[in-house]
């Protein structure tokens, strides 16, 4: 997981520029478009602008993806997101999930991070996360969720591109 703020992307010089570019693009789209799904400039990437209501973690299911990096950007409200890197071997063994999502009821060693407007949390494939948890009373939040094919990054680091 990577946690940051859209106003402080310069503090993350080690983060791939593709991620920073897509975060900025998502923010630009969110200023001019309503809720819905939008293609982004990098082939295979897309943005979901949505609104949801936070709830107690016990009422929210955790999720995990295999094919996409998931960047959750909070646009309005306050949200806790649970996360964990511990999961059973069944998740690893599964080649694909329907619609690239598997829901989990039990999360081992779950930690939480609180997002305020402008904050984002990036989850790589196999990283469990539980979005839309309440920070206090349930409340409505607005989010921009960027989905990037994980293959984008594996192709960038292929052995063919490494200089000797």
With respect to residue 156, please indicate whether it lies within any of the assigned structural domains.
no
Per the structure, the count of domains in the chain is 1
- Please choose, from the candidates 136, 137, 129, 63, the residue with its C-alpha nearest in 3D space to the C-alpha of residue 98: 63
> What's the rounded Cα separation, in Å, for the pair 27 and 49?
10
With respect to residue 119, please indicate whether it lies within any of the assigned structural domains.
yes
10 Å Cβ neighbour count for 102?
A: 19
pLDDT band at 110 (very low <50, low <70, confident <90, very high): very high
10 Å Cβ neighbour count for 43?
A: 8
pLDDT tens-digit series, residues 10-24: 999 999 999 999 999
> Residue 20's pLDDT is what?
95
With respect to residue 82, please indicate whether it lies within any of the assigned structural domains.
yes
With respect to residue 155, please indicate whether it lies within any of the assigned structural domains.
no
With respect to residue 93, please indicate whether it lies within any of the assigned structural domains.
yes
Checking 155-162 for CB contacts under 8 A at 24+ apart, the result is: 156/16, 156/18
pLDDT tens-digit series, residues 137-164: 999 999 999 999 998 987 554 434 433 3
- Containing structural domain, residue 69: 2-150
> Residue 160's pLDDT is what?
42
With respect to residue 62, please indicate whether it lies within any of the assigned structural domains.
yes
pLDDT tens-digit series, residues 31-83: 999 999 999 999 999 999 999 999 999 999 999 988 899 999 999 999 999 99
For the ranges 26-40, 50-64, 86-100, 114-128, which has the lowest average pLDDT? 86-100
Query: Residue 114 belongs to a domain with what CATH number?
Result: 2.60.120.370
Q: How many residues are present in the chain?
A: 164
Give the count of alpha carbons within 13 A of 114, CB side only.
Answer: 6
With respect to residue 110, please indicate whether it lies within any of the assigned structural domains.
yes
pTM for the predicted model, two decimal places: 0.89
3-state secondary structure 111-153: EEEEECCCEEEEECCCCEEEEEECCCCCCEEEEEEEEEECHHH
With respect to residue 162, please indicate whether it lies within any of the assigned structural domains.
no
């Amino acid at each position: 997981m990577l946690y940051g703020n859209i106003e402080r992307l310069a503090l993350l010089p080690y983060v791939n520029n593709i991620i920073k570019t897509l975060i900025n693009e998502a923010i630009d789209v969110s200023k001019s478009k309503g809720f819905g799904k939008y293609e982004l400039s990098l082939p295979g990437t897309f943005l979901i602008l949505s609104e949801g209501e936070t709830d107690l973690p016990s009422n929210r299911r955790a999720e995990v993806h295999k094919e996409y990096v998931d960047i959750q950007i909070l646009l309005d409200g306050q949200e806790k997101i649970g996360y964990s890197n511990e999961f059973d071997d069944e998740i690893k063994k599964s080649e694909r999930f329907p619609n690239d999502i598997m829901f989990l009821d039990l999360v081992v060693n779950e930690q939480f991070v609180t997002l305020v407007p402008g904050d984002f949390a990036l989850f790589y494939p196999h990283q469990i996360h539980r979005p839309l948890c309440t920070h206090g009373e349930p409340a409505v939040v607005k989010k921009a969720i960027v989905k990037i094919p994980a293959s984008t990054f594996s192709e960038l680091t292929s052995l063919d591109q490494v200089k000797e």
